[in-house]
Chains A and B, each alone.
Chain A
Amino acid sequence: MSESIIIAEINKGAIAPVTAELISAAIALGTTPIVVVPCTDAAIADGAGFEGVSRVIAVKGACFENYDASSWAGSIAAGAPSGIIIAAATPQSKDLIARIAAIRGISVVQDVVAIHGNNLTSPIYSGKAMQTVAISGDAAISVRANIFSPAASAVAEVSVVDQSGDIATAVKEIIARASARLDVSEANIIISGGRGMGSPDNFVHLEAIADVLGAAVGASRAAVDTWDSIPHSMQVGQTGKTVNPNLYIAVGISGAIQHLAGMRSSKYIVAINKDADAPIFAHADYGIVATWEETLPILQSALSAMMA
């Protein structure tokens, strides 16, 4: 069986849970996964063992302090064996594998949502269509979260490779996000508001529910374009962020094709809208035809009682 190289997803100095899903993707491809952990401290690689993994390689180097595509790609490509490269479809890892693929002269398939043999399926046109491609030989692929079931943890042998590339871009300053709340691209639960919220001030009602659920707050393009205080970083949709959380709650969002393109692959969708004919309801697992003013307080108290 050929080997594949899983690039561990790192979040807050630890192996992110999506890494366990990548193991299942590697096995679906008929490969034996090796996990590569880019790190400044090889101790974090102890958390990178999963059932089915043959070994773990900690690629350790000073360059991994801040993300720099050039040095990260060079160090990982030098420290990892050949094989199909698999990473999580996060903005950073998609960028990273594009450079690693270029070093190795192989092709890239991003945002994979299904694997059958050597056939990989990804959304195109922001999810308005799906495309299945066949890979021949090695390729670098990124896999969307919440598609493959996570592999169970296991103890794996860890080897350490010291490999630090020359940093090509100097980080002058890191600006911490003002809010402690998650970004929509990182969250497993998202509650988004549209122009139906009436005013940007009313987003506090979404934030209150987000606090109960540990969710991120998003917005439709209409909301971002209408109100300056709703930043583009919150925008979910074709010209914003593409998300596929476990739960997406759309409030006062009609469901324009632009917005659907960014969130339709969410596992569960709840829609709250006073217009019974809003297109969003065709995509909702649970739809509530009512005003948000009446609905959100009831939803918030029900969720608070459950989470208590």
Chain B
Amino acid sequence: MANIVVLVKRVPDTNARIVIADNKVDLSAVKWVISPYDEFAIETALQHREANGGSVTALTLGPAAADKVLKDAKAIGVDEIVRVWDDSWADLDSNATQSILSQSIIGLGADLVFCGKSAADTGAGSTGPGVAQRLGWASVSNVTDVTFEGGLTVTAPAENGAAIIEISGPAVISCDKGSIKVRKPNVKGIMMAKRASVNVISADAPASMVTIVSQSSPPAKAAGKKYEGPSAAQEVARLLRDEANVI
């Protein structure tokens, strides 16, 4: 029986266009979703509960607008939904984020945490291992497969292949897409999610040591050379050697 926490984050839809205004990303028009890798974390946590019992709590750090992704997680099948927030928080750095999340995980009495391998906004992937360290727990990142027979066993990339790793004791597992198939919410789940209430908690946040200076569009690429017809492959091969020096 494990008390599982799944970390979920509200991010712009991965198909959204990212607009820059006044040196800052303008997200006022984007559609928001659960970060895609977090869906694999939710699925893995639910499978763990089905195999071993226990409970699954979805935890997010964010303002009230993030309740939507918690309700989405509830519709898929998590037991409890919790949001940690303080209106004074803005542009938290990784140290502050991990500190807040680890305090929350301790407060919830969890002994196992699943999260996505990285969030679709920052793409950093620091949260899982950083939270594990603060909790003094083991961690395995970028997990592509999980089995529950005879304890928790995960598959993660290793040099020249993959490692099959046994987890005993408390751990943070960050999930990649791999072979994990995500379930869809059913009507009953959606109805339950509508009625569910979000447990809002708070925590202490250390001052951020990293501050955002600016956000911008990626540098425009100079126009390339474009050829018609397959015979241009000969010339392109020559340019790759003589002009680009990459082969």
Q: For the complex, is A152 an interface residue (Cβ under 8 Å from B)?
A: no
Chain A 123-144 near chain B by CB (<8 Å), digits 1 or 0: 1111111111111110100000
Chain B residues, CB < 8 A from A299: 233, 236-237
- Do A99 and B218 touch across chains, with their CB atoms under 8 A apart? no
Q: Which A residues have a C-beta under 8 Å from some C-beta of B? A: 11-12, 66-70, 73, 91, 94-96, 98-99, 101-103, 105-111, 119, 123-137, 139, 168-177, 183, 189, 213, 232-233, 235, 238-240, 242, 246-247, 257-258, 261, 264-265, 267-270, 272, 276, 281-291, 294-296, 298-299, 302-303, 306-307
Measured CA separation A182–B222 after assembly (Å): 30
CB-CB under 8 A from B206, the residues of chain A are 105
Q: Which of B215, B228, B229 contacts A129 (CB 8 A)?
A: B215
Closest residue of chain A to B241 (Cβ to Cβ) is A306
1/0 per residue B171-208: CB within 8 Å of A?
10000111000000000000000000000000000101
Other-chain contact of B247, A103, A189, A258, A286 (Cβ < 8 Å): A189
Q: A95-B139, A232-B176, A298-B233 are in contact. List 19 more A-B contacts (CB 8 A).
A: A67-B163, A91-B141, A99-B139, A110-B126, A124-B122, A136-B209, A168-B137, A172-B153, A172-B166, A174-B164, A175-B162, A232-B177, A238-B14, A261-B14, A267-B244, A285-B224, A286-B226, A295-B232, A306-B241
Is B95's CB within 8 Å of the partner chain A?
yes
Complex contacts, B162 vs chain A, CB 8 Å = 174-175, 177
Provide the B206-223 mask, 1 if CB < 8 A to any CB of A, else 0. Answer: 101111111111110100
Q: How far is it, in angstroms, between the C-alpha of A289 and the C-alpha of B17 when the chains are bound?
A: 27
The B150-168 residues at the A interface (CB cut-off 8 A) are 153, 155, 157-168
Knowing A173-B164, A176-B160, A247-B244 touch, does A98 contact B209 (C-beta < 8 A)? no
Q: Residue of B at shortest CB range from A241? A: B176
Stretch at the interface among B54-62, B103-111, B128-136: B128-136
- Are A98 and B236 in contact, with the CB atoms below 8 A? no
| Minimum distance in angstroms from A221 CB to a CB of chain B | 10
Interface residues of B (CB under 8 A from A): 12, 14-15, 17-18, 20, 25, 36-37, 93-96, 98, 120-134, 137-142, 144, 153, 155, 157-169, 171, 176-178, 206, 208-219, 221, 224-234, 236-241, 244, 246-247
CA A284 to CA B96, docked complex, whole Å: 40
Q: How far is the CA of A189 from the CA of B237 in the complex (A)?
A: 13
- B95, A129: Cβ atoms under 8 Å? no
Q: Please, which residues of chain A bring their CB within 8 A of the CB of B244? A: 247, 267-268, 285
Q: Identify the closest chain A residue to B37 (Cβ).
A: A239
Contact between A239 and B14 (Cβ–Cβ < 8 Å)?
A: yes
B230 touches A294 (CB 8 A): yes
Contact check, B130 vs A288: say whether CB atoms are below 8 A apart. no
Which listed residue (B20, B163, B217, B237) contacts A306, Cβ 8 A?
B237
18 A-B contact pairs sorted by A residue (CB < 8 Å)? A98-B129, A107-B93, A108-B95, A109-B94, A119-B213, A129-B217, A130-B218, A134-B210, A136-B209, A137-B209, A169-B139, A172-B166, A177-B162, A270-B236, A288-B227, A289-B226, A291-B230, A295-B233
Tell me which of B25, B98, B122 has the highest count of chain A C-beta atoms within 10 A of its own C-beta. B122
From B126, B171, B241, B246, contact of A98 by CB (8 A): B126
Given contacts A98-B94, A133-B211, are A281 and B226 in contact (CB under 8 A)?
Answer: yes
Partner of B134, one of A102, A136, A261, A285: A102
A239-B14, A298-B231 in contact; A171/B130 too (CB < 8 A)?
A: no
> Inside 8 A of A102's CB, which chain B residues have their CB?
95, 98, 129-134
A105 touches B95 (CB 8 A): yes
**How distant is the Cα of A173 from the Cα of B162 in the complex, in angstroms?**
8
Q: Are A134 and B163 touching (Cβ within 8 A)?
A: no
A264 to B166, CA, bound (A): 37
Residues of A within 8 A of B210 (CB): 107, 109, 133-136, 139
Q: Which residues of chain A have C-beta atoms less than 8 A from B218's C-beta?
A: 123, 127-130, 264-265
CB distance from A203 to the nearest CB of B (A): 18
Q: Which residue of A lies closest to B12 (CB)?
A: A125
Minimum distance in angstroms from B111 CB to a CB of chain A: 14
Query: Hey, which chain A residues are within 8 Å of B159, CB to CB?
Result: 11-12, 67
Q: What chain A residues lie within 8 Å of B93 (beta carbons)?
A: 107
Q: Which residues of B contact A281 (CB under 8 A)?
A: 224, 226
Collect the chain B residues with CB atoms within 8 Å of residue A130's CB: 215-219
A219 to chain B minimum Cβ distance, whole angstroms, is 13
- In the complex the two chains form, is B230's CB within 8 Å of A298's CB? yes
Across the interface, B129 reaches (CB within 8 A) one of A69, A258, A303, namely A69
Cβ of A242 and Cβ of B123 under 8 Å apart? yes
Chain B residue at minimal CB-CB distance from A180: B160
Q: Decide if B98 touches A69 in the complex (CB within 8 Å).
A: no
Question: A247 contacts B240, CB within 8 Å?
Answer: yes
How many Å lie between the Cα of A290 and that of B234 in the bound state?
13
